[in-house]
Structure formats: structure tokens, C-alpha cells
């Protein structure tokens, strides 16, 4: 499982501001508003695109 926090997350043609994305081992993506710090969460400054590729989710840090 991976968990990231970013200023903006883009996934499935939707934008989420100050959100936490959890990517499960089975490839499910769960996005929630950031409310408090969660252990084992990686912060990525800026905008992140979550892109499905060959049955997995690729995390792409977009330039400003």
C-alpha cells in the first residue's frame, strides 16, 4: 500500500486539493480530504497525476 499527500491530486478526470491518496496493493485508489497527519504518508509538493498503467497506478509529479 502507498499513501501520498499532495497540494493537488488528479485522478479519473477529477481534481482534489490538499488530499490524501491511498493506493492499495490490489490497485484500488481511495482519495480523501487532508484533515490530519497519517503515519507512513509521503508528501509531494505541487500537483500529482495518478495514471493507471498495465493494472497498476503510476504516480506522476507534474511540473509547476
DSSP string for residues in 3-63: EEEEEEEEETTEEEEEEEEEE-TTS-EEEEE--S--TT-EEEEEEEEEEEETTEEEEEEE-
Confirm if 27 and 57 have CB atoms less than 8 A apart.
Answer: yes
Alpha helices in the chain (DSSP H): none
Residue 17: which pLDDT band, with cuts at 50, 70 and 90? very high
Residue 63: which pLDDT band, with cuts at 50, 70 and 90? confident
What length is written for the chain? 64
Is 0.85 surpassed by the pTM of this model? yes
Amino acid at each position: 500500500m502507498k499513501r501520498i499527500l499532495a497540494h493537488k491530486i488528479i485522478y479519473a478526470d477529477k481534481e482534489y486539493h490538499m488530499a490524501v491518496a491511498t493506493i492499495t496493493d490490489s490497485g484500488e485508489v481511495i482519495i480523501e480530504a487532508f484533515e490530519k497527519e497519517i503515519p507512513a504518508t509521503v508528501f509531494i509538493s505541487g500537483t500529482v497525476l495518478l495514471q493507471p498503467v498495465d493494472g497498476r497506478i503510476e504516480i506522476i509529479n507534474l511540473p509547476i
